[in-house]
Amino acid sequence: MPEKKLGIAIIGAGAIAEVHIQAYLQYKDLCEVRAVCDLFTDKANALIDRYQLPAQALKDFHEALARPDIDAVSICLPPSAHASTAIDALQAGKHVICEKPMAGSLEECDAMLQAAQASGCLLSIVAQNRYKTPHQKVKHLLEEGALGRVLFATVNSLWWRGENYYDIWWRGTWEKESGGCVTNHAVHHIDLLQWMLGMPQTVDAVIANVGHSNSECEDVATAVLRYPQTMVQLTASLVTHNEAQELIFQGEKASVSVPWQVSAAKALPNGFPEEDTATEQAIQQQYEALPDLPVEGHPAQIGNFLRAIRGEEPLGIDGQQGRNTIELIAAIYKSAATGQTVHLPLTPDDVFYRKGGIASVMPHFHEKTKSIDNFAPTKPITLGRDVGR
């Protein structure tokens, strides 16, 4: 007798919810979306109608949590609601996959982890760019030592958003969005960095708002992360028109990057560089020999989440991985606010660890003067032009 399908509830019917629904529909043999929850039930009904889902539109997500035919939830809400919603779902015995960022504070992250442990349910944090072929291949090359020791890395998380992006009621506020380009855009690349290189020892950062007058939060940021033998420069932006995004790893033997490129140099007798074509060709062959992922992005991570619930494979991205990214974000904000080097890990007595702590101490670059409930229907959202390509 075939195993029953998992019942899914989508909590939040904003733009990212559609991405989750599209992913679940790729696994009709494993699951069924049975509820879409949103305070604006017309948005929920629109998604149900568009995808012909066998689902009910619910204003209160707790109704979905009370249903025995719901096994798991996708949390697609503003960041300030992630922790409380996830904890409620876990305590109700539902598995949770939660959109980035995991939460607005490390205190909330730890409460989510404790709820998951107590419930025995899975908690996964969306980091869909790990499930991109180039990222997987580059991580493998780093782990295999193909570059030698990584000396220096550059991470450019460069995006563009119009001023009206911040007209939505919850965006552009420290309290509800938990930050600007670092929290909600560079989160992708910060996750990839800590996945590939681990957590740094110290962080130095500066932030500013140069182009979004309806946002309290930053729209540009630069940070320097120090490891025992490696340094990383991270830049985040919402004012970069071509949205160029890249990770570049400079090793002892060669450099590689995403989007994919390999370069290698060797020293001439006077110390100046000469192209090392043999090393470049060897690394290129290693890269090409690694298999492509059959499924990428949200569908790949959600597929893993479903199979992990069924006990068919380990969970790929757990709550601790989501917490690591939040700790780096909190360290960036702390350094920017204090003008000092921040040493990791952050401790529970630190204001930047506590719930509401970041919102209580960060500068308001502007005060939010315009706030609307929803945008009019438009084209599907973009998830970054070059992430993973």
- Please tell me the least confidently modeled range out of 17-21, 169-173, 200-204, 303-307: 169-173
Q: Does residue 154 register a pLDDT over 50?
A: yes
Residue 148, Ramachandran bin (φ over 0: left; ψ between -120 and 50: alpha; else beta): left
- Write the CATH number for 308: 3.40.50.720
Same domain, 356 and 242: yes
318 in Cβ contact with 96 (< 8 Å): no
Does residue 367 lie in a domain region?
no
Same domain, 56 and 181: no
- Counting DSSP H helices and E strands in the chain, the numbers are 12, 16
Q: Does residue 43 register a pLDDT over 90?
A: yes
Angle, CA 132 vertex, CA 205 and CA 251 arms, to 5°: 55
- Write the CATH number for 283: 3.30.360.10
Total domains in the fold of the chain: 2
More confident residue, 342 or 78: 342
Same domain, 214 and 269: yes
Query: Under 8 Å CB-to-CB from 303, ≥6 apart: which residues?
Result: 23, 26, 27, 295
Does residue 368 lie in a domain region?
no
Same domain, 19 and 87: yes
Q: How many CB atoms lie within 10 A of CB 262?
A: 20
The CA distance from 161 to 210, in Å, is 12
Give the mean model confidence (pLDDT) for residues 182-190: 96
Same domain, 310 and 331: no
Q: Which of 282, 317, 352 is the last residue of a domain?
A: 317
Give the mean model confidence (pLDDT) for residues 145-156: 98
Does residue 15 lie in a domain region?
yes
Same domain, 170 and 237: yes
Could you tell me the pTM of the whole model? 0.93
Token reading at 334? 């702390």
- Confidence at residue 381, expressed as pLDDT on a 0 to 100 scale: 59
Rg from Cα positions in the chain: 21
The CA distance from 57 to 237, in Å, is 36
3-class DSSP assignment, residue 281: helix
Does residue 81 lie in a domain region?
yes
Residue 12, Ramachandran bin (φ over 0: left; ψ between -120 and 50: alpha; else beta): left
Give the mean model confidence (pLDDT) for residues 118-134: 98
Alpha helices (H) in 248-344, listed in sequence order: 277-289, 297-309, 319-338
Same domain, 226 and 339: yes
Per-residue confidence at 386, pLDDT binned at 50, 70, 90? low
Amino acid at 368: K
Does residue 67 lie in a domain region?
yes
Does residue 42 lie in a domain region?
yes
Q: Does residue 176 register a pLDDT over 60?
A: yes
Angle, CA 52 vertex, CA 50 and CA 57 arms, to 5°: 80
The CA distance from 236 to 386, in Å, is 14
Is residue 206 classed exposed, middle or buried when 0-12, 13-18 and 19+ CB atoms within 10 A define those classes?
A: middle
Q: Does residue 383 register a pLDDT over 90?
A: no
Same domain, 155 and 219: yes
95 in Cβ contact with 121 (< 8 Å): yes
The CA distance from 115 to 110, in Å, is 9
Positive or negative: CA dihedral 358, 364, 370, 374: negative
pLDDT tens digits, one per residue of 311-325? 999 999 999 999 999
114 in Cβ contact with 51 (< 8 Å): no
The CA distance from 264 to 242, in Å, is 27
- Confidence at residue 385, expressed as pLDDT on a 0 to 100 scale: 54
User: 31-37 and 150-158: which strand pairing?
Assistant: unpaired
Same domain, 150 and 283: yes
Query: In which domain, by residue range, is 166 found?
Result: 130-295+324-361
Same domain, 68 and 163: no
pLDDT tens digits, one per residue of 49-59? 999 999 999 99
Does residue 385 lie in a domain region?
no
Q: Does residue 182 register a pLDDT over 90?
A: yes
Per-residue confidence at 81, pLDDT binned at 50, 70, 90? very high
pLDDT tens digits, one per residue of 234-276? 999 999 999 999 999 999 999 999 999 999 999 999 999 999 9
Q: Does residue 1 register a pLDDT over 50?
A: no
Same domain, 219 and 201: yes
Q: Does residue 327 register a pLDDT over 80?
A: yes
Query: Under 8 Å CB-to-CB from 349, ≥6 apart: which residues?
Result: none
Per-residue confidence at 371, pLDDT binned at 50, 70, 90? confident
Query: Under 8 Å CB-to-CB from 160, ≥6 apart: which residues?
Result: 238, 239, 240, 241, 242, 243
Angle, CA 253 vertex, CA 252 and CA 255 arms, to 5°: 90
The CA distance from 273 to 266, in Å, is 6
Does residue 332 lie in a domain region?
yes
Same domain, 140 and 266: yes
Give the mean model confidence (pLDDT) for residues 45-73: 98
Q: Does residue 96 register a pLDDT over 70?
A: yes
